[in-house]
Each structure stands twice: as C-alpha cells, then as structure tokens.
Structure 1
Amino acid sequence: MSRDVIGARQQDLPGQKTSDGLDDLDAAALAYAERAQDAPESERAALREQLTRLCLPFAGRLARRYRGRGETLEDIEQVARLGLVKAVDRYDPERGSFTAYAVITISGEIKRHFRDKTWGVHVPRRLQDLSLEVGHAMMVMTSMLSRTPTAAEIAERLHIEVGSVLEAMESSAGYAPSSLNAPMGGEGAAEFGDLIGDVDNDLELVDDKVTVADLLMRLPARERRMLALRFYGNRTQAEIAAELGISQMHVSRLLTRALTWLREAMLSDVPPRWEGAESRPERSPMEVVTTREGGVVLARVRGEVDRDTAERLRLGLRHAIGMAGDETVLIDLSGVPLLDAAGIAVLVDAASAASVAEVKLRLSGAQPYVSGILAVTGLSNLMI
C-alpha cells in the first residue's frame, strides 16, 4: 500500500473536541480498533502511531499529577508514554471506554515506576503507595492551610488512621536516604558516616577471652595473682617479687611457666596437666624428707627449688649422703615442679660430695619440665 493511502487513512481517525476542550479519545480508539482489525501490518503500525500521538497530551496531563514527588517531570512523562503505548496495544473495545482503561494503565505504570525505581531503601508496596498519597495530601493541604498539616488532619482527609499516616511518613525517609559522605558542616567537616560505629575487632577475641578466663581458674592462686599484677596491674617483675617476697628471677620463671601452660591449653581440646605445686606449706615452700627404705636412703624433695630454697636442699642432701654409708642415695624429684640454676648447682655439689664419700647417687621421678633441664646440664646420667 502506498504512503498516500496510509496518510489518507490516518486522517480518517476522528479527533473531535468535547465540550470541555479535550479530544474525544474514545471515538478515535474505536475507529483505530475497527480499521486495524483487518488492515495489513504496515497500515496497522501507522494507525497505532497516529492514535498514540493523538493521546500524548492526555498522557502528559496524567504525568503532571505526579509532579513534586522527587522525580523530574520529563522522567514521569516518559513513563506515562510507555503506559500509553501499553494501553493502545492492549485495548479491547468490548471491555469499555478507552480513556478509562488508559487512565488505569498509565497511572499504574507511573506508580510502579515510583515503587520499583525511585526508592533508595526497600519498603513494602502498601507503605510505598500510602507514602505517595500522604505526600500528595500534605502538599495540597499545605497550600490550602498555609502551614504544614498535622498527622491527624492528613488522616482525616485520607480517611485512614493516624498511626498509618505516621508509619507512611517514617517510611518515606527511605525514598531518598542521605549519603553517608554528606558533610555535617562546612568544608572539611566530618561526614555522617563518621557517626556510625565501625566493626569491633575485639568481638573476634570474645571466645579467646572466655577460654582464658576459665583456664586461669585452673592455675594456683599464686600464679593467678602474679598474672593479674603483671598484665592488669602493669607491675614490673621486680615489684611483683618485692610484694610476694621472692626473687625477680623466680617471678620470671613462674610467669614463663604459667604463660607456656596457657598457650598449650589454648591450642588443645583438653587442657594439659598443671605440673606446679598446687598446694604447699606456706612457711616451708620446699622440704627434703629423708628415710631408709629397702636398703636405700630415700630423699624425697617436695616444692620448687630456686635461689631462695637451694640452701635448704643442700643441707637435706648432705644429711642423706651422711646417712648412706655404703647404701645408695636415691633423690626423688617427683614433687619438684621447678628447678632453677641454683637447684642444679646443689645437685652437682651433691653428686661431687657423694663421689668423694664413695656413695652411689641417683635421681628419679623427675617431671618433664625438670627432666628437660637435667638433660641439658649433664646430670641425665644420674637419672633412673
């Protein structure tokens, strides 16, 4: 079909004016439906374009109803025109008036645009639609009352509850949330994001702190006190030694042993056995008990051997060697959790004294910590 024929048929679509100055779009839509039904594809497309152009002012009037809601009028008009095209394509004369159907389709398309494309935060559809109605009512009533209407006045106008109005107002804040990078004052001022708390890295340490707190209760009271003074009271080792009445070197060894045990306990499912002296006489932290048992002079050593107690150990071992005669002196170290350099010197001295007296000297029952020390000091040959 020639362009002249198509143009002639396009001019046949009625475009009469109604009494209120609007085009009679219903008549034009009926004529389009009748002619497009049996027309070839090219002519149908031309008729569709002609009706769409004829209805553009109508779509523009519907779009202008949604001005002032945060979107530019140009964008709303584009959405309205898209709704108009859908109304033309889906129009069925048997279902009633074209203008009524177009109003519903275009308005629905505009509302869908506001619901799905313009909200910065997801809000339920019910609240989105209600927020639009409340916003429009507030704008109209502000113009009428020359002041901002109250929630009760808006609720009365929309015939809804005051609570629903307040909920819609609160939800409307999610339409265009403020940027976290927005400055709080003038140039160079802090940003809103600075007011929001950061990730608390200490949260990752909660499990470790709870575990350590439980393990600390497994330590003897003296070790717990020393750890508290060192890490919570920020005391030096010299200050701790002065308060507890022991040497600074002893404090250093005790702290090292306690921290080593805590590290091993933290890395194992079952905490290792604490090898320290859980209980000991307050006035005699180290003692040597000498007895004869089965032809052997048995010297049982109990307690920690350090600079403060080494002399007591020396006297006890000399007494045992003096009792031995031709018997073997067996030094039981099973009750010794700690042995320092002073204690090692005492054992070396005892071995020399036993050799001079031609007394056989042996060590037994050493705990792993003490055994390791003996192994590197040349006394391992005396162990049985």
Structure 2
Amino acid sequence: MPTQCYSAKDRAAREAATRELFERRERSTGETERQELLEAIVELNIEIARGIAQRFRHKGPDTEDLEQVAYLGLVKAVHGYRLAADTPFIGYAIPTIRGEVKRYFRDCAWTVRIPRRLQELQGLIAAKLPELEQELGREPSTAEIAERLGAEPAEIDQAVAAHGCFSVLSLDRPEAEAGLTLGEMVADEDDPTLHQLETIDMLQPVLSDLSADDRRILELRFVDGLSQTDIGTEIGVSQMQVSRLLRKILDHLKDRLAPLASAA
C-alpha cells in the first residue's frame, strides 16, 4: 500500500488498509504484534503528518522540527483512535496532528507574547478539539468549543486568532519581485490606517451592544456601501426612516465612544 495518495481512490484505499490494521490489532493478543501493527499504521499514514507540517512552513521553526512534531501528533492519534467511534481515522488524525503542531508553536515558538490565558486556551483547544470532532462527526462551532472548555466564545476566537504571533521577519530579508529588502519597502512615515485600527478596537465592544437590526443597517451602509434608498428597499422601510435610524445609531455610538476616547 503506497503511503503517498494522489487521488480520492488512493486515500480511500489507505483508509481501508488503516482500518484493517486497527482491526487486526484489536484481535491480537501478542504485545509484540500489537506494537508492530501500530508502527505499520504510522508508516502508512506518515504522509498525512508531513502534509500538515508543510502547511506551517515559513512561520519560524525549521521544517524538519515541524515534521517531527507532526509525526509525534500522528503517533498520538494512532494510540488514541478507537474503532468503536465509527469515525474514519483520517478524520481523527488530522485535528490531532494539527493540534500537536499548534501546541508546539504555543509552547516553543513565540516571538510575540500573548496573554497567558489565551496561550492556555490554545492548549486546551488543541487537546479537546479532536475529541469533540470525533463525537460530533464534524468540525465544532466556536460556541460548542467554548461550552466544552467553560470559556466565552470571544475568548476562543481570540485564542484562535492569536496563532499568527510566532515569527518576525528580518528587515534585511530580500523581496525578489521588487529587488528591495523588506526594510526598504516599509514606509518611513506614519500610516493613517493605524489610527483606524485603534478606532476599530474601540468600536468592537460598543457594536456588540447594538441590536441585530442596527448592526445590519450599519453593515449595509458602511461595509456594502449601499445608499439610504437601497437600504430602505433591503429592509422594507422608507429612505427617510433609514436616515433617522442611521442618525440615532451613530449618535448612540458617539455617546458610548466619548468616555472611551477620553480615557485613551
């Protein structure tokens, strides 16, 4: 059975062969044979781990280190998989390996530190996600992960979003297309969009207090760029009503943001 699969047929054959090895191990009573079967399963699925490691290239650690971590994740998946779960092995192995790689980044590859609480949540997510995915037979939602871990959905989102804080680029790194170094391509003047980012950070908790209808109106106006007339058509009111609603919403946001801006 080839370890490299280039088609759905190949992958199905590998999955069937993997299941057969697990079934043989389940029937076996000899410890030596059981260990040999486990090793055979790892060898058969080694390309899955290697493929996952490749997706995390250029994030700091050497590719060889990432592959070793991914192989460890594969070994853990082989030891933890249960035929009784009625889930394909690949459906259990991929999140397990991915979680092991992400745990490695959390513990060993930080160059930008994030709050300890978020680091701990990343570890919990990596540990529980494979188990939850196997139970549900699908990828769990943020709310389901939060419920399992006893955390807030917003914390889960923040922990997942922080996975990019691993590596920094050298300013001397050449950019082939431009023929310049990264340092030469970085603007030496203040970027006005940075102030926009600060405003967005301040707006986020305020916007969460708005009703779904109010957020929808803001989205249509400032994200989709619709006119007041088009918004009225979309939500079933007149242009005049849209104008009044927008003014009311914006006045509310201004009142809420005023004390935040003063504190900043």
TM-score category, normalised to shorter length: 0.3 to 0.5
Give TM-score scaled by structure 1 length: 0.31
Identify the structure with bigger relative contact order (alpha carbons < 8 Å, sequence gap 6+). 2
Greater strand share, structure number: 1
Which structure's residues are more often helix, by fraction? 2
Larger Rg: 1
* TM-score, scaled relative to structure 2: 0.43
